[in-house]
Structure 1
Amino acid sequence: MFDSPLFDTAIALITLYLLFSQLTLSLVELPAGFLNTRGKYLHDRLLKALGSQAHAAFYAAASVQSLMLPRDQKSPLVRRFVSEYPAYISETLFAQTIIAWVSSLAKNAVPALPNPATPIDQFKAGLAFLTDPSFKELLETLYLNAIATAASTANPATPEEQGVALQKNVEGWFHDFGERMTGWYKRDNRKYLFWAGFLVAVLADVDTVRLSRFIADSSNAKARLALVEMGTKASQGEAPAGVTYNVTNLEEAKLYEQQRQIRLDTLLARGSRNLQNTLAAVPQVGLPLGFLRWTDHSTVRNSKTGKYEWAPSADDYQMPGYAQRRKLDPATGSSSPLSPQWSRLWPIGGWLLTAFAMMLGAPFWFETLAKFINIRNVGVKPASANRDET
């Protein structure tokens, strides 16, 4: 039922989107890794969440300073553009740093603290010295919830139990903040994926409109089936990585902070591999992709002008008229733009469609491709019923 040229055209187009979206992602992730934009992103988001007073104190803490990227041996240009802030902070580190800083504000508390003063007393007194009302209200709420939680588990609750409950509450808030920031980061990165996708679309001439028409053409069934086969193999492989950010992921923290150069090398290798896979796939299926298709232009010399011109063996030659960017003269090998003049603007619409497709990301196209492949193969088999059920 679904083994039709129209359905195969959709699969072929999704396969191309998956291929080029991986290349687009590499173009976005590589500079982000080098410039440590994640660290700057976390720094700016925490400023809005904590307020200037708590934010400055948090990044001035020795425990956070130890996570900063080394800058003493960097050139002024690198120090200017590469963020030094840590991209990942554990929930425990955040909670302990904030609680210790608020407690330290109680040194000038009036009235005087009880003698001896417990850590929870110092924290409660330090709340009065917070200048940001929203963050102060948040910490007061977490403090009161901690007291209530400790009281429900112990009667009476000890200061140590109250302190443990407070730390867990602060850790929980930071965990939720990290989850929200992951969504913000993905959303904000879509514009970079769009512009990188538009760049790939222009440089590789990935025109969605032209490609759709070419793949759907019955005379190009061989290219269409080759892409379907390529998509089937891709759907059975490992899902590609997308734009991810988890502020509290300790494994990512080790990779990002302690082995940052290894991460950059990995991103560079991934980008190079994606580029090689993309370039290798194009000639195999004979698609109208890339302005660099006309690579054989120096083999024909115009006898009148003495200049080398496009050869009749160029890839665009003998392709359908709608798939060509230039007209080729098989007799002389000379080329000329398609007419009329305004028709040269047609590719822009196809490039924009491709850029919007790249903005959705490689994981999206991988999942979509897998669903289409399953439908083409008459769907996924339902799970067998348990005969032992009564």
Structure 2
Amino acid sequence: MFDSVVLDIAIGLIFVFLATSLAITAGNELLASLFKWRAKDLAAGLRLLVGREDGEARTGQPDITRALYQHPLLRGLHRDAATGGDSKAPSYIPPRMFAMALLDIALRPADGTGQLVAGNIAEMRAQIESKRPELGNRVTDTLLTFVNHAEIDARTAVNQLDHLQRDVETWFNAGMGRVSEVYRRRAQLWSTLLAFFFVAALNLDAIRITRSLANDPVLRASLIAQATEAVKQETPPAQPTPAAAPPRAGLPSAPAETAPSATAGALRQLQTDIGTINQLGIPVGWEDNPPQPSTWWWINKVLGLLLTGLAASLGAPFWFDVLKKVSSLRAAGRMPPPPDTTNPRRDPPDPA
């Protein structure tokens, strides 16, 4: 029952949506690399975390964002270690490095020499308070709260600095969670816009594709074979990962790439995904001399493009999961193999 033409058409259409979603993801990655969204969002989130509060600029409160970016631990993440601006700033900061850099600024003597003041709670509290003009009210009060927490928690009495560092890391992760949410909302918006742009540019009409699959068994078999290979993988094929995204929105491995190489890689991935769509065998592109369109033709065309655009905007992971489930459903519904005829059962001889 499940091994039917209708199910094969559904699998082929889902596979087309998956391929289109991969191209949308690559296009979104290209825009993020070109406009440096991750680095700018990270810098804005960092300023919100450790910068001036509203109205503090007029009272002379400092903004230590630049000091953090120029700290030796974080300057190594820059493409240009001499800058502290957004254009060449890192797109990811490990929480441990942030905590170590901030505590180094807060607990090192004012002359910048000597060891950190971390002998006991009273000395740490006095040192942080003495750095209030440099750190600002927000950061100073936050660090003092963490110091009080370390003093109250008897389990960390042996190493208060380690406890303080973990609290700063937790604080940083919480702030970067908001940054990641902003980034995700923007990425979703651009994914939707890119989906409709690609679908309209390539004329990926879901209704037309469905008709082609229904009328062309060779095309169905080809897409079924490609879909079967795709579901054998643990992740969507050629899935572009937002590797340099802010914390909790990506992996920390991509900051080693420079922006030009990351942009070039995203462009190559986009070209590859578009080429994959063109090689699927489905009807792609606009005809040079289309028939005279009627009102009903336009209704079908707009509806088909909208369906593909909405489907592609759901993302490759969604369609990959759907493809796996539908493919397993098709496999479970296959007809049993024909009986073995190499050694047929002989009927007993007729006693007559």
8 Å CA contact 1:90–1:247 kept in 2: the answer is no
Partner of 1:339: 294
Distance 2:109 2:12 in 1: 63
Partner of 1:118: 123
Determine helix, strand or coil for the equivalent of 2:302. Answer: helix
User: Once the 2 structures are TM-superposed, how far is the Cα of residue 188 of structure 1 from its aligned partner?
Assistant: 2.2
Q: 1:364 aligns with which of 318, 325, 331?
A: 318
8 Å CA contact 2:47–2:65 kept in 1: the answer is yes
2:65 is equivalent to residue 55 of structure 1: yes
Partner of 1:187: 185
Partner of 1:289: 284
8 Å CA contact 1:18–1:365 kept in 2: the answer is yes
How high is the TM-score relative to the length of structure 1?
0.67
Partner of 2:235: 239
Partner of 1:152: 155
How high is the TM-score relative to the length of structure 2?
0.73
Corresponding letter in the other structure for 1:55:
T
Distance 1:51 1:185 in 2: 20
8 Å CA contact 1:201–1:354 kept in 2: the answer is yes
Partner of 2:22: 22
How many residues align structurally?
311
Determine helix, strand or coil for the equivalent of 2:279. Answer: helix
Corresponding letter in the other structure for 2:294:
S
Partner of 1:171: 169
Structure with the bigger RCO (C-alpha within 8 Å, sep 6+) is: 2
Partner of 1:272: 271
Distance 1:186 1:243 in 2: 13
Distance 1:377 1:23 in 2: 28
Q: 2:306 aligns with which of 306, 329, 352?
A: 352
Partner of 1:67: 77
Summarize deviations over 1:166-223 as a string: whole Å, max 9, x none: 01111233234445544442332011111111111011101223333543x4x33443
Corresponding letter in the other structure for 2:228:
T
Distance 1:128 1:70 in 2: 28
Corresponding letter in the other structure for 1:42:
L
Corresponding letter in the other structure for 2:305:
W
8 Å CA contact 1:178–1:246 kept in 2: the answer is no
Please report the RMSD computed on the Cα atoms of aligned residues, expressed in angstroms: 3.6
Q: 1:225 aligns with which of 214, 218, 221?
A: 221
8 Å CA contact 1:12–1:231 kept in 2: the answer is yes
Give the percent of matched residue pairs that are identical in Structure 1 and Structure 2. 25
Unaligned runs of 5+ in 1: 73-79, 108-112, 295-309, 311-325, 328-336, 380-390
8 Å CA contact 1:86–1:257 kept in 2: the answer is no
Unaligned runs of 5+ in 2: 53-62, 112-116, 334-352
Higher mean C-alpha displacement, 13-22 vs 179-188: 179-188
